Amino acid sequence: MRSLRIAAVLWLALGAAWCRADSPIVLMVGGMNKIIYLPAIVAQRQGYFRKLGLHVEVVSEPAGSNAEDELIAGAVQGVVGFYDHCIDLQSKGYAIESVIQLTRVPGEVELTQAGRAGADLRAIGARRLGVTDIGSSTDFLSRYLALRAGLQPSQYRLVPVDAGDRFMEALRAGHIDAGMTTDPTVTRLLDAQGARILVDLRSVRGMRSALGGDYPASSVYMQRAWVDAHPSQVRGIVQAFLMALRYLRSHDAATVVASLPPAFVEGHRAAYVKALQAFRPEYSPDGRMPADGPTTVLAVLQAINPDVRGGDIDLSRTYTEKFLPRRGLAPPAGR
């Protein structure tokens, strides 16, 4: 046990020495205050990037589809978003890979108005489905859930409604019949009795029931060419996120929330703490890809996307674990 601790310290120290860099690395987060992407903010607020000698800027973009556009254009070096974009983008000819997985579950929830009857999207008569944006992961998952409920694409349309307050207003005002969002928005709506759950992807059981297996979601993904050209910086980024994951799994929600920017929880601190406390076990303990995860994601995308269905997808090139500590070696501890 002592040898493992010593090895972990040496692994961390070597990473710190290797990843010194002067140029800023920009990571774009698909919705800064979403609990599923909280490891990025924790890594920044706790100084883990700086500790490892990295100059990292964390910026926000509400939708993952827009973040991936910035990545492809070279405006940012990495995206904190859903792994499914790595497969989708490969089908379009782009070489993108996840370097670390952040959560064990998607964390998304399909909601409808509290007074609306029916057990699924078809039963409630859904015709307008709210998503973060067209081409986002909520787009992919919403179309798959609609297909499973027996709805054809011609029977509904996707409506971009962002997240947070904009999503809540769209649902309450009846601009959408149902919609997909994540916490803290879900908990805020449920606490206010303004919505009810149709599909809950915040637990392993709910995920496997709805999607047919493990669906790796929140991740850090980058262009493979940049990863290959900057291995020491990528290793440092991965270490910082491992430290953030350890911090989130070892500290209670109230402590974590106290360390966040006040704007994250303004007006709904109690809901944020409640949602985070429930979700904490779903942060990845080691950053690794679940064994059947890529095949489950591929099956979901193939069901809804003709480009993926007709493509020759090499799943081994959509993620890498070479920057993670080898198995049996403990991840670096966060404070």
Q: Read off the CATH number of the domain in which 228 is found.
A: 3.40.190.10
What confidence score (pLDDT) does residue 326 get? 83
Candidates 231, 210, 198, 243; CA nearest to 12 is 243
Whether omega for the bond prior to residue 216 falls within 30 degrees of 0, making it cis, is no
- At 306, the pLDDT band (50, 70, 90 cuts) reads confident
Does pLDDT of 292 surpass 90?
yes
3-state secondary structure of 82: strand
Are 87 and 101 in a shared domain? yes
Fill in the DSSP letter of residue 31. Answer: S
3-state secondary structure of 38: helix
The residue among 326 and 239 whose pLDDT is bigger is 239
Are 92 and 143 in a shared domain? no
Range of the domain at 161: 108-200
Candidates 229, 234, 272; CA nearest to 254 is 272
Q: Give the Å distances, CA to CA, from 165 to 31, 189, 193.
A: 13, 10, 15
Residues near 291 by beta carbon (within 8 Å), at least 6 away in sequence:
214
The residue among 7 and 195 whose pLDDT is bigger is 195
Q: 328: left (phi > 0), else alpha (psi -120 to 50), else beta?
A: left
Compute the average pLDDT of residues 2-20: 41
Number of folded domains in the chain?
A: 2
Are 195 and 232 in a shared domain? no
* 13, 52 contact by CB (below 8 A): no
Candidates 249, 217, 210; CA nearest to 334 is 249
* 45, 260 contact by CB (below 8 A): yes
Is 327 part of a structural domain of the chain? no
Quick: pLDDT tens for 29-74. 988 899 999 999 999 999 999 999 999 999 987 655 678 889 999 9
Does pLDDT of 12 surpass 50?
no
Are 25 and 85 in a shared domain? yes
Candidates 38, 39, 33; CA nearest to 237 is 39
The Cα 201–Cα 144 span in angstroms is 13
Quick: pLDDT tens for 249-262. 999 999 999 999 99
Are 221 and 294 in a shared domain? yes
Are 90 and 220 in a shared domain? yes
- At 2, the pLDDT band (50, 70, 90 cuts) reads very low
Does pLDDT of 17 surpass 50?
no
- At 13, the pLDDT band (50, 70, 90 cuts) reads very low
Is 328 part of a structural domain of the chain? no
Listed residues 200, 235, 252: the one ending a domain: 200
The Cα 66–Cα 169 span in angstroms is 22
3-state secondary structure of 305: coil
Are 28 and 53 in a shared domain? yes
Quick: pLDDT tens for 172-194. 999 999 999 999 999 999 999 99
Quick: pLDDT tens for 142-164. 999 999 999 999 999 999 999 99
Is 329 part of a structural domain of the chain? no
How large a percentage of the chain has pLDDT more than 90?
Answer: 83
What confidence score (pLDDT) does residue 310 get? 63
What confidence score (pLDDT) does residue 307 get? 84
Compute the average pLDDT of residues 111-127: 96
Is 220 part of a structural domain of the chain? yes
What confidence score (pLDDT) does residue 331 get? 62
Does pLDDT of 129 surpass 90?
yes
Are 180 and 231 in a shared domain? no
The residue among 8 and 227 whose pLDDT is bigger is 227
111, 117, 118, 123 alpha-carbon torsion, rounded to 10°: -100
What confidence score (pLDDT) does residue 291 get? 94
231, 218, 73, 222 alpha-carbon torsion, rounded to 10°: 10
Are 285 and 235 in a shared domain? yes
Which range (73-82, 271-280, 302-311) has the least confidence? 302-311
State phi, psi for 213 to the nearest 5 degrees.
165, -165
What confidence score (pLDDT) does residue 248 get? 98
